[in-house]
Amino acid sequence: MNHIGQDTISKNIETASPEASLLDPQKQKTLLRTMNCVGIALHSGEKVSLTLKPAEANTGVIFRRTDIPGSKEIEARWDNVVDTRMCTTIGVEEGVTISTIEHLMSALAGCGVDNVYVDVNGPEVPVMDGSAQPFVFLIECAGLQEQDALRRVIEILKPVRVEIGDKMAELVPSDTFSVSFEIDFESKVVAKQAISVNMVNGTFKKEVARARTFGFMHEVEQLRAAGLGLGGSLDNVVIIEDDKVLNEDGLRYADEFVRHKVLDAVGDLYTSGAVIRGSYKGVRAGHALTNQLLRALFANPSSWRYVESEENDDSDEAGFVTNEAEIVDLAAVSA
């Protein structure tokens, strides 16, 4: 069973503040108080404890394995991503990794948390209910405090795209941060779904945070045979079998599947190390392609720049914007 530390919830919940925009406020933020939760790891099935702690300005999101004394801190950055099979895994030294970070990262992004220490006593973040909502609740219970430093924003100056087969992910210039996604499954329950979410005025919490991860029964059986997905259940995964949703309560949104893909993308994009001012679009994309997109972005300095969140967008540097996309064909690169 997933459990959030009730000893601190009652006195902290009044400090919760609604999300406005992923590009606001101007100042960096960290947590006001330390918060803890306990849950099941999706793949190992083990009980895991996770603690969120305030961090100084310009710290970023730092994961720490408390079960391995002396292990190095792991910054949640795109270049520390070491595996993208089934989830996003980060690590900076051999044998010390933390996986399934994407839902927590999505909640941190959606709530505007710039700096935080994430202590985990195992190799995997607890899956909770399979969405970002429990982590949003945890953050709201902790409350947020402004810090004496401006938020840094990654402004997209020209389009960058990565492709492999029929899968695609791209970032294009925009005044706001938005995420669009398209999926296409043979299952009649999922089928073709598309959505575009502009991350302002609380849309992350209202339209994205509650969307759960999903899978098909035949995939669940394959994962368990391989020693994975041992913590998965109808309590934390939407399971589909024979074109039916097995969860008794059904879906939280009619298009919950594509909304969860948006949730994953928000979390994976936050490994950029800052808020993104630009529009993301994914077509049949996943953790791997989004990480490859960030690698392609940072490999091309003319495609982006850092700005402080109160900087005037009419500066001369904005002249770098062009209509020419940087396209990387991953199939060709790997061939």
* Residues labelled as active-site residues: 287
Q: What distances in angstroms separate CA 44 from CA 10, 143, 227, 234, 271, one per listed residue?
A: 31, 31, 8, 16, 24
User: How many whole angstroms from its chain centre is CA 9?
Assistant: 24
Output the DSSP codes for 107-164: HHHHHT--BEEEEESSSB-B-TTSSSHHHHHHHHHH-EEEEEEEPEEEEE-S-EEEEE
Alpha helices in 274-324, H assignment, sequence order: 287-298
- Tokens found for residue 263: 């949730």
Comparing CA positions, the residue from 111, 80, 97, 114 lying closest to residue 16 is: 111
Tokens representing residue 105 in the block: 């990262």
The CA-CA-CA angle for residues 169, 171, 173, to 5°, reads 160
- Partners of 197 in the β-ladder: 179
Q: Which two tokens stand for residue 74?
A: 């792991």
d(CA 255, CA 193): 7
Beta strand pairing call for 81-83 and 61-65: unpaired
Q: Note whether 41 and 127 are within 8 A (CB).
A: yes
* Residue 292: HSE in the Cβ half-sphere, 13 Å Cα cutoff: 23
| Helix, strand, or coil (residue 94) | coil
Report d(CA 124, CA 63) in Å as an integer: 11
Residue 172 to residue 243: CA distance in whole angstroms: 36
